[in-house]
Amino acid sequence: MSETLVRFEGVRKTYGAGGPAAVQSLDLDIARGELLTLLGPSGSGKTTTLMLLAGFELPSAGRIMLDGRDIARLPPHRRGIGVVFQSYALFPHMSVAENVAFPLAVRGVSKHDQARRVAKALDTVRLQGLGDRRPAQLSGGQQQRVALARALVFEPPIVLLDEPLGALDKALREEMQLEIRHIHQRLGVTMLYVTHDQAEALTLSDRIAVFEGGRVRQLADPRRLYDRPADAFVAGFVGENNLLPGVVESREELDLRVRLDCGPVVDAQAVDCGGAGERCLVAIRPERVAVAGVTAAELGEGALPAVLTEAIFQGDHVRLRLALGDGGAILAKRPAGMSALPEPGGPAAVAWPEGAAFAFRPPA
Amino acid sequence: MSRSPRLSAALLTAPLLAFLLLSFVAPIGAFLWRAVSDAEVAAVLPRTIVALAGWDGAAAPHDAAFAALVADLREARAREATGPAGGIARAASRLNADRPGLRGVLPMTARRVAAPFDGPARDAVIAISAAWADPETWGAIRRAGGPLSSFHVLAALDLRRDASGSLRALPDDQRVFGAVLVRSLWIALLVTGVCLALGWPLAWLAATARGWAATLLLGAVLLPFWISLVVRTAAWMVLLQREGVVNAALGAFGIGPLPLMMNRFAVVLAMVHILLPFMVLPLVAAFRGLDPRLPRAAASLGASPWRVFRRVTLPLCLPGIAAGCILVFIQALGFYVTPALLGGPGDQMLAWFVGFYATRSVNWGLAAALSLLLLVAVGVCVALYGRLAGFRRPGAA
């Protein structure tokens, strides 16, 4: 791991005396040059964490170190951190160039240098030549680029982005995700990105911290987060997952046999799970579930009998919903054009590779 | 019917336009017209005015003018004996506004010349009153010859023409309205400044408070609207007079009684109280319209609180501030009741003089000219506001 730029040490934030903690004892390191995403549902504490770093909230306890200096009590304008807000927050009474020049002007940069650096920043976000426009004359995507340029132009050690693409439509959002990623790679600036969109987090991030209930549930790179979620919440929140409830029958090291509530007994890898007799959730990614229009015995060992209830064509793939055992259901995603899909209502079998099923403790 | 919706909408406003025309534009226009029209003297002395056309104004005019005066006055007397009376009195009142003393001279002369006399008209008329030997008397008649004259407008500006027609400033001891205008502007400016200083924090609180606190604050601001202006002014009289509530309270501490009324302090105090809502409401609207993320964004970009205020908050609130200031200033400029009831002689504003000339001295021409002066002052302020704050909506290109 490279050098640490920002360190949260035991940071806690409560609103009002005795109220619930928005952030509970947070320890988090942000490495210089990385793009770290805080991912979580609304109310999970991710935005509060960002506001604590920006200085718009003061922590109830703990230290926030930037470059080895405790900034937890410093007012926002003394921190030198760039922030991009969800609603852009461009100054409507200034032109685009004046908006971007604002952080330079308040730092007393000479007019000549301002003009040069503004032009360079607008170039970076591909808005060259639009400096004289008013923000209201720009599209949502262009406004977001201006906000980005404004947060980058004074070369802060870290830029915070608070759901910056939330107001954009899907196509533009995906384009901007790549653009932010490219700007991050090109400039090497450290970025802290907050979003509730797990696909966006997977696209952009070097590392992702999954927030829930004011805590970090897992901190990992996107691939590991997807392949090896640390608990049932992460397994359900990041990407799609079948979460099948059951009871552990036997445990040997990490190898479990689990009797699902709907009947079948399956093998699973224990991740965060108790021993025999305890309840658990078995997680299987839909794209790992194989489906065939034959009986389970014909498909092979470990295959389970199922009944196809619904098939939804989605262009590049088909989503199959199958009834499993007594009242259970499982979702499978198969590439479109695959032959031998079962008829709805007809006999079918599902199977998954060894090691594709993980068992977690059910959330309290 | 295939009229366009726009035309239908315009037709629906027709009753309002007719109402405004009849109740607003026409009466005000007719009143202001009096500032420049001058018909009273010409109705009584038409020949005299014709005879004075070529007069140089240096000395008393030639004999023909005297003969014309006698003929005009005899005819006017004869007319009034049979028809409606009052023409001579109105003309005398108009001339008196120009040359004090002529109010009595003209009716007396008309009465005395009605009887036949011997010798030239000049000697007879001058024998009736020495005023007829003074060229300024004749100058006053010529100035009032109408049908249009600049006399009242010039008087409102402390200017007049002498008998020869050249423009003169009034001597210092007769100048009134310049000082009154300056005083009116100063009081209005003072009231606007105090309203802004007091209204700003209140508006900020009301705009940022939530729930019942915001309702309560705005209610407190709006409460004075429910009470008549005269009643509120009278309430201040009860509070501020020599044996009033405030002096009684101060007396309990052995202070006073202080002269709290009939001075500038009382006028400004009551005007601020009456006009404060007009400042607070636009300010609340401006503060509520301000996106709270913008000051945050500015702070995150390195701007100190003072710089955030100056570069972001203030420019974005400027239209609301300007609207509040112009509302308060224009209303304050035309205030009448409050200075009349709470102020001393030195605190009366332009509107008081309009009222004085319209009702007490019955000099409608001067009242109209002073109104015109007030209207122009307001117009200049609005134009200035337009230049500074702009009539365009904020954010428009």
Q: Which of B148, B165, B195 is the C-terminal boundary of a domain? A: B148
Inter-chain touch B303–A106, beta carbons under 8 Å = yes
Look over chain A and give the mean of its residue pLDDT values, rounded to a whole number. 88
Q: Which range among A161-165, B113-117, B196-200, B335-339 shows the weakest confidence by mean pLDDT?
A: B113-117
Whether residue B181 lies inside any domain: the answer is yes
- Tell me: do B115 and B192 sit in the same domain: no
Our CA-based measurement puts residue A75 at a distance from the nearest CA of chain B, in whole angstroms, of: 9
Whether residue B68 lies inside any domain: the answer is yes
* A77 → closest Cβ in B303, B315, B395: B303
Our CA-based measurement puts residue A83 at a distance from the nearest CA of chain B, in whole angstroms, of: 6
Inter-chain touch A91–B298, beta carbons under 8 Å = yes
Rounded Cα–Cα distance for residues B55 and B42 (Å): 17
Inter-chain touch B315–A93, beta carbons under 8 Å = yes
Q: Which of B104, B127, B148 is the C-terminal boundary of a domain? A: B148
Q: What is the mean pLDDT of residues B387-397?
A: 55
Whether residue B312 lies inside any domain: the answer is yes
Closest CA to B69 of B101, B105, B109: B109
**Mutual angle of helices B135-143 and B87-98, in 10-degree steps:** 110
Q: What is the mean pLDDT of residues A304-320?
A: 86
At A134 the pLDDT is 92
Starting from the edge strand earliest in sequence, which strands make up the sheet with A215-220, in order? A82-84, A158-162, A190-195, A35-39, A207-212, A215-220
Inter-chain touch B297–A83, beta carbons under 8 Å = yes
**Mutual angle of helices B177-208 and B314-333, in 10-degree steps:** 140
Whether residue B23 lies inside any domain: the answer is no
Q: Which residues of B touch A56 (CB under 8 A)?
A: 296, 299-300
Whether residue B140 lies inside any domain: the answer is yes
- Tell me: do B213 and B339 sit in the same domain: yes
**Mutual angle of helices B177-208 and B364-388, in 10-degree steps:** 40
Q: Is residue B366 predicted with pLDDT exceeding 50?
A: yes
Our CA-based measurement puts residue A27 at a distance from the nearest CA of chain B, in whole angstroms, of: 23
Our CA-based measurement puts residue A144 at a distance from the nearest CA of chain B, in whole angstroms, of: 13
Q: Is residue A112 predicted with pLDDT exceeding 90?
A: yes
Output the six-digit token pair for B62.
Answer: 């030639």
Beta strands A242-252; A279-284: pairing state: antiparallel
Inter-chain touch B300–A76, beta carbons under 8 Å = yes
For A87, name the nearest residue in chain B, comparing CA atoms only. Answer: B293
Q: What is the mean pLDDT of residues B1-18?
A: 82
Our CA-based measurement puts residue B316 at a distance from the nearest CA of chain A, in whole angstroms, of: 7
Whether residue B301 lies inside any domain: the answer is yes
Rounded Cα–Cα distance for residues A336 and A331 (Å): 15
Size of interface A-B (CB pairs under 8 A): 74
Output the six-digit token pair for B189.
Answer: 């400016």
Which position has the higher pLDDT, B14 or B62?
A: B14
pLDDT in tens, A2-25: 689 999 998 988 887 666 778 888
Q: Does the beta carbon of B302 lie under 8 angstroms from any beta carbon of chain A?
A: yes
Closest CA to B385 of B334, B316, B319, B335: B319
At A255 the pLDDT is 87
Q: Is residue B166 predicted with pLDDT exceeding 90?
A: no
Q: What is the mean pLDDT of residues B321-341?
A: 90
- Tell me: do B189 and B302 sit in the same domain: yes
* B294 → closest Cβ in A89, A134, A154: A89
Whether residue B109 lies inside any domain: the answer is yes
Q: What is the mean pLDDT of residues A87-106?
A: 92
Inter-chain touch A56–B296, beta carbons under 8 Å = yes
Q: Which residues of A touch B299 (CB under 8 A)?
A: 55-56, 75-77
Rounded Cα–Cα distance for residues B212 and B45 (Å): 72
| Interface of chain A toward chain B, CB-CB under 8 angstroms | 54-56, 75-77, 79-83, 85, 87, 89-93, 102-103, 106-107, 134, 136-137, 150-151, 154
Q: What is the mean pLDDT of residues B365-393?
A: 82
Q: Which of B293, B300, B393 to mutate to test the interface with A (most CBs of A within 10 A)?
A: B300
Rounded Cα–Cα distance for residues A106 and B297 (Å): 13
H/E segment holding residue B109: helix B102-113
Q: Is residue A339 predicted with pLDDT exceeding 70?
A: no
pLDDT band at B2 (very low <50, low <70, confident <90, very high): low
pLDDT in tens, A263-281: 888 889 888 877 788 899 9
Q: Does the beta carbon of B290 lie under 8 angstroms from any beta carbon of chain A?
A: no
Q: Does the beta carbon of B45 lie under 8 angstroms from any beta carbon of chain A?
A: no
- Tell me: do B70 and B217 sit in the same domain: no
Q: Does the beta carbon of B311 lie under 8 angstroms from any beta carbon of chain A?
A: yes
Whether residue B17 lies inside any domain: the answer is no
Q: Which residues of B touch A92 (CB under 8 A)?
A: 316, 394-395
Our CA-based measurement puts residue B308 at a distance from the nearest CA of chain A, in whole angstroms, of: 10
- Tell me: do B229 and B332 sit in the same domain: yes
Q: What is the mean pLDDT of residues B270-286?
A: 91
Q: Is residue A110 predicted with pLDDT exceeding 70?
A: yes
- Tell me: do B144 and B182 sit in the same domain: no
Q: What is the mean pLDDT of residues B185-193?
A: 94
At B119 the pLDDT is 77
- Tell me: do B306 and B374 sit in the same domain: yes
Task: For residue B293, give its domain range.
Answer: 177-389
Q: Which residues of A touch B296 (CB under 8 A)?
A: 56, 76, 83, 85, 89
Q: Is residue B223 predicted with pLDDT exceeding 90?
A: no
Q: Which residues of A touch B390 (CB under 8 A)?
A: none
Q: Which of B128, B148, B168 is the C-terminal boundary of a domain? A: B148
pLDDT band at A75 (very low <50, low <70, confident <90, very high): very high
Inter-chain touch B301–A103, beta carbons under 8 Å = yes
Q: Which residues fall within 8 angstroms of residue B324, CB to CB, at 6 or more apart?
A: B195, B196, B199, B278, B279, B280, B281, B282, B283
pLDDT in tens, B66-79: 888 888 888 888 88
At A18 the pLDDT is 67
pLDDT in tens, B232-259: 888 888 888 888 888 888 888 888 778 8
Residue A31 CA from chain centroid, whole number: 18
Q: Does the beta carbon of B300 lie under 8 angstroms from any beta carbon of chain A?
A: yes
Q: Which of A47, A74, A83 to mutate to test the interface with B (most CBs of B within 10 A)?
A: A83
* B395 → closest Cβ in A82, A85, A92: A92
Rounded Cα–Cα distance for residues A283 and A246 (Å): 11
- Tell me: do B102 and B142 sit in the same domain: yes
Q: What is the mean pLDDT of residues B14-30?
A: 90
Rounded Cα–Cα distance for residues A247 and A261 (Å): 7
Look over chain B and give the mean of its residue pLDDT values, rounded to a whole number. 85
At B394 the pLDDT is 46
At B163 the pLDDT is 67
Q: Which residues of B touch A150 (CB under 8 A)?
A: 301
- Tell me: do B188 and B72 sit in the same domain: no
- Tell me: do B142 and B269 sit in the same domain: no
- Tell me: do B140 and B183 sit in the same domain: no
Rounded Cα–Cα distance for residues B185 and B192 (Å): 10
Q: What total number of domains does chain B contain?
A: 2
CATH number, domain of B254, equals 1.10.3720.10
pLDDT in tens, A188-242: 999 999 999 999 999 999 999 999 988 899 999 999 999 999 989 999 899 889 9
Q: What is the mean pLDDT of residues A142-159?
A: 92
Q: What is the mean pLDDT of residues B133-161?
A: 83
Q: Which residues of A touch B316 (CB under 8 A)?
A: 91-93
At B397 the pLDDT is 35
The percent of residues above 90 in pLDDT, for chain B, comes to 17
Q: What ipTM did this prediction achieve?
A: 0.81
- Tell me: do B270 and B313 sit in the same domain: yes
At B395 the pLDDT is 42
Please list, residue by residue across B257-285, b when 16 or more beta carbons sit within 10 angstroms of its beta carbon and e when fewer do: eeebbbbbbbbbbbbbbbbbbbbbbbbbb
pLDDT band at B171 (very low <50, low <70, confident <90, very high): confident
